[in-house]
Structure 1
Amino acid sequence: MTDIPGLDGLLGIEHVETGPDKVVVRFTIDERHLQPFGIPHGGVYCAVHESTASVAGLLWLNGKGVAVGTNNSTDFLRQAKLGDVITTTATPIHRGRTQQLWHLDSVDEDGKLIAQGQVRLANLEQEVPPEALAHFAGIDPA
């Protein structure tokens, strides 16, 4: 586990780069990422994609609300294996007043595309938990 709260912490996600125009995360495939057949579960990529896009959307909103997933479309292109380090990058396709659309690529150490997707986010006018903004943006919540 990492110091990141929620599912990301359980999955061992590490934030490599966080900003309003790009978020990069990394994790290593281990037993907790496998389906019963011993291969990585596709839901891991879906969860990482949605979470990574949501962090990017939150940072782009810059404290003026939260971004929540409304659609997640992830294609699984290549099978990773135990020990593979997966890097996921979120970049914006569209960012507007009420919604955002983010593109996500998950690649292995050799840069081979493992999964690719899009996540649509709704922008909600809701108070941002100060600790969340501080954690992902390095902003002092005080």
Structure 2
Amino acid sequence: MQIVLPKEEMEPFLDEVFPQVKGMFGIDRLDEDMLVMRLFADDRHLRPGGTVSGPAMFSLADVAAYVVTMSRIGREALAVTTNCSIDFMRKPKSGRDLLAHARLLKLGRALSVTDVLLFSEGMDAPVARASLTYSLPPKR
């Protein structure tokens, strides 16, 4: 699937449509095969015990699915999450950014389906796996 909204345009688009999370995420890689997105983990993302919280991991997976979808369909800010399933498999390393490896599995007229593996920077095994479905706005 061809990229229609590249990294250079995606980052300002995210800042425009989601100013509340500006500076929280970064895009390390965006190509036809995969998106690698980073959560710049800081104190606001931690739960008791000093590890990254589940809601922060969900946010990364959700934004990654949104970005990989937008990269294929263009600036369609009104796409929305309709389903998410996430498995938390191991504790992320304390003080490390989280990385989302997102692959678009299906892009249809009405829905996109994305698989996301979350890694704690420096760990080989994933800390979580998510499957997300986005509803796409109808073409006018």
- Give the TM-score taking structure 1 as reference length: 0.74
Contact 2:50–2:94 at 8 Å: present in 1 too?
no
Tell me, in whole angstroms, the C-alpha distance in 1 between the residues paired with 2:78 and 2:53: 28
Partner residue in 1 for 2:135: 122
Answer yes or no: is the 8 Å Cα contact 2:81–2:135 preserved in 1: yes
Q: Secondary structure in 1 aligned to 2:87?
A: strand
Unaligned 5+ segments in structure 1 are 128-142
After superposition, the Cα gap between the structure-2 partners of 1:35 and 1:64, relative to the gap in structure 1 and judged at 3 Å, is closer
1:82 to 90, 94, 97: 94
Counterparts of 1:70 and 1:20 in 2: how far apart (Å)? Answer: 24
Q: Is the partner of 2:136 in helix, strand or coil?
A: strand
Equivalent position of 2:63 in the other structure: 51
Q: Aligned partners of 2:77 and 2:53: how far apart in 1?
A: 32
After superposing on structure 2, the runs of 4+ consecutive aligned residues of structure 1 that deviate more than 6 Å are none
1:61 and 2:73 aligned:
yes
Contact preservation (8 Å) 2:89, 2:127: yes
Root-mean-square deviation (CA, aligned residues, Å) is: 2.6
Give the CA deviation at 1:20.
5.5
Q: 1:115 to 1:58 in 2, by over 3 A?
A: same
Asked if 1 retains the 8 angstrom alpha-carbon contact of 2:110 and 2:138, the reply is no
> Whole-Å Cα distance in 1 between the matches of residues 90 and 53 of structure 2?
12
Query: When the two structures are superposed, what TM-score results if normalisation uses the length of structure 2?
Result: 0.75
SS in 1 for 2:47: coil
Q: 1:18 offset after TM fit, Å?
A: 2.5
1:119 Cα deviation after fit: 0.6
* Residue aligning to 2:52: 40
User: Structure 1's 63 and 13: CA in aligned 2 closer, same or farther, altered over 3 A?
Assistant: closer
Judge conservation of contact 1:20–1:59 (CA < 8 Å) in 2.
no
The equivalent residue for 2:3 is: none
Where do 5+ consecutive residues of structure 2 fail to align?
Answer: 1-10
- Residue 23 of structure 1 and its aligned partner are, at CA, apart by 1.7
State the alpha-carbon separation in 2 of the partners of residues 71 and 46 from structure 1: 12
Q: Tell me how far 1:64 sits from its aligned partner.
A: 6.6
For the residues of structure 1 that align with 2:135 and 2:21, how far apart are their CA atoms?
20
How far apart in 1 are the matches of 2:119 and 2:108? 28
